[in-house]
Amino acid sequence: MTKPILFSSSFIAIAILFFFSCGPAAEDRSMMMSRAKQVQDSIANAIRMQMAEAEAPGPMQVQAAPMAAPAPVITHTNAAGETHTHAPGESHNH
C-alpha cells in the first residue's frame, strides 16, 4: 500500500516540477524583450557618443592652417641686360 502512495506522490512532485520549469509566461516574456530592447538601445547610444567624442579634435590638437598661395617667382634684369628668374629666397652674387 505504501508503494502506490509513494509512486503517486513522486509522480505529482515531478509533474509540478515540470509544470513550473517551462519558463516565464508570455506577458513576462514580452516585458523582458521590451526591457532588453531598451538596454540594447542605451548601449548603442553610448557607443555612438563615445565614437563621436573620439573623432572630435582634442584641446591640445592644432588644426592645420590653410595653405597659402606659393610665393611668386622673382624676375629681374641685370646691368648687362640678361634676364634671370629666382625662386623665393634664392639669390646670386652678380
Task: Tell me the pLDDT tens digit for each residue of 34-79.
Answer: 999 999 999 999 999 999 988 877 666 666 666 666 666 677 677 7
Residue 86 has pLDDT above 60, yes or no: yes
Residue 9 has pLDDT above 90, yes or no: no
Q: Is residue 43 part of a domain?
A: yes
Mean pLDDT of the chain: 76
Q: Which domain holds residue 19?
A: 12-58
End-to-end CA gap in the chain? 132
Q: Is residue 74 part of a domain?
A: no
Number of structural domains the chain divides into: 1
Q: How many CB atoms lie under 10 A from the CB of residue 74?
A: 13
Query: Alpha-carbon distance 27 to 30, whole Å?
Result: 5
β-strand partners of 76: 84
As a whole number, mean pLDDT of residues 23-42 equals 85
Q: What is the pTM of this model?
A: 0.37
Q: Is residue 24 part of a domain?
A: yes
Q: Is residue 77 part of a domain?
A: no
Using CA atoms, how far residue 47 sits from 43, 62, 64, in Å, is: 6, 26, 28
Q: Is residue 1 part of a domain?
A: no
Residue 84 has pLDDT above 70, yes or no: no
β-strand partners of 77: 83
Q: Is residue 2 part of a domain?
A: no
Query: Alpha-carbon distance 27 to 42, whole Å?
Result: 23
β-strand partners of 84: 76
Q: Is residue 38 part of a domain?
A: yes
